[in-house]
Chains A and B, each alone.
Chain A
């Protein structure tokens, strides 16, 4: 069965510090997709990244970076030089890619990130 665990319920850091959000997943499939979404106080989920299981390259987008390690079933998200606007709830999610089956995304419970000025 699919499962996504975000062990950090809430994190607070001072602005300009780096912060890493952890995500550990479980799946029996060899082909799957991982996602990160941001939910600011307004409520809408904003897509950040999608990564398939065959691509273990780390990705960097501005201040955001993602570390995908299949050996530890982790897909961690790092914000460098955090800003107050980064304050939000961040969700990690997993979707298996099985031929002939409807794909569904399983979400972790989220990590609430507070960036203190």
Chain B
């Protein structure tokens, strides 16, 4: 079954610790995205990547970092510089970004910083 997986589903960390969220897709999609969702809010774009070894900042990239070493994987690190990291994080992918392709989403990771 093709799809997007995110792990873990729930993540608890102490304040000041870096944490990495996993996102893997087997859809052979070129583009991948990370979004943050806060209660009662829409999705805000953190980072996106069109191809391997390349990525761009989204609207709220401060305090986050990413890598794209493989087409299938786009991990997100929430660093200690992120002032308010508790949120729901969603990963998505699309065939490409050359045209506005539909983005398909993973199940999300809920991060709570204690």
Residues in A lying within 8 Å of B, measured CB to CB: 4, 9, 32-33, 35, 37, 42-47, 50, 91, 95-97, 102-105, 107-110
Contacts and interface: CB of A to CB of B under 8 A. Distances in A.
Given A102-B56, A102-B97, A103-B97, A50 B105 contact: no
Nearest to B103: A105
Interface of B: 40-43, 45, 48, 50, 56, 58, 88, 90, 92, 97, 99-108, 110
B58 A109 contact: no
Nearest to A101: B97
Contacts, number: 56
A41 to B, nearest CB: 12
Nearest to A110: B42
Contacts of A108: 42
A84 B110 CA distance: 25
A20 to B, nearest CB: 19
Given A102-B50, A104-B45, A109-B41, A43 B108 contact: yes
B37 to A, nearest CB: 9
A95 B100 CA distance: 6
B99 A43 contact: no
Given A104-B48, A109-B42, A43 B97 contact: no
A96 to B, nearest CB: 7
A107 to B, nearest CB: 4
Contacts of A4: 42
A71 B97 CA distance: 28
Contact of A102 (B42, B48, B90, B105): B48
Contacts of A95: 100
A35 B102 contact: yes
A77 to B, nearest CB: 16
B99 to A, nearest CB: 6
Nearest to B44: A107
A97 B100 contact: yes
Given A9-B40, A44-B107, A110-B42, 12 more contacts: A37-B105, A47-B103, A91-B43, A102-B48, A102-B97, A103-B100, A103-B101, A104-B45, A104-B58, A105-B45, A109-B41, A109-B42
